[in-house]
Amino acid sequence: MKKVIFLTLIICAGLVRMSFGQESTIKWYTIEEAFELNKTEHRKIFIDVYTDWCGWCKKMEATTFTHPTIAKILNEDYYAVRFDAETNDTIKIVGQNFINKRSGRRSTHQLAITLLKGRLSYPSIVYINEQNQIITPWPGYKTPQQLEPILHYIAEDKFLSQTLEEYQKTFKSSIITN
């Protein structure tokens, strides 16, 4: 009997751990997948523009993007994309091909230049609306506490009627801080 109870507890603990793990995992799409999905189920697109040599990009990936609250918002309200600004891949979206022309040791992909409006800074987050138009690029590392209100601000279309500063005055965070 003790073995059965012990085994049941282990299984339950494993299921609880799995459910927490899934909650804190972002479903990442390629940019092509996100634009394709947006045709049938309209959502905003969140694009993390990064490079593999960027320390702040790695920190954001390890801390901000693993936070359960951030993962939940991104999975529910956005198509989340991680885009390497120096990729060699040819990207075809909105009827246009984007390439990396490779002009130097660290060359930037044409799509990164377009998304960031020529202001190359990593990490940067680009928000795209449901009509596949750039809302705004947002440069710099963000903690979960800094990113949460921005995600809601964009997802709820509050940027159309108020500044982020105005929005933050009434924003209630769901992130518990110590």
Look at residue 178 and tell me if it is in a domain.
no
Residues in the chain with pLDDT < 70? 1-23, 104, 178
Cβ atoms within 10 Å of 111's Cβ, excluding its own: 24
Look at residue 17 and tell me if it is in a domain.
no
In 24-143, alpha helices (H)? 31-40, 55-62, 68-77, 110-115
Look at residue 6 and tell me if it is in a domain.
no
* Count of CA atoms in the C-beta half-sphere (13 A) of 74: 28
pLDDT for 17 equals: 42
Assign residue 77 the CATH number of its domain.
3.40.30.10
Look at residue 16 and tell me if it is in a domain.
no
Look at residue 79 and tell me if it is in a domain.
yes
pLDDT for 16 equals: 39
pLDDT for 178 equals: 60
Look at residue 4 and tell me if it is in a domain.
no
Residues in contact with 125: Cβ distance below 8 Å, sequence separation at least 6, in sequence order? 46, 47, 48, 49, 137, 138, 142, 147, 150
Number of domains composing the chain? 1
Structural domain span for residue 101:
23-170
Look at residue 114 and tell me if it is in a domain.
yes
Look at residue 31 and tell me if it is in a domain.
yes
Backbone angles phi, psi at 156, to 5 degrees: -90, 5
pLDDT for 3 equals: 55
pLDDT for 101 equals: 86
Report pTM: 0.84
> 64: buried, middle or exposed (CB in 10 Å: 19+, 13-18, 0-12)?
buried
**Residue 147 to residue 103: CA distance in whole angstroms:** 34
Q: What letter does residue 158 receive in the DSSP assignment?
A: G
**Residue 33 to residue 50: CA distance in whole angstroms:** 18
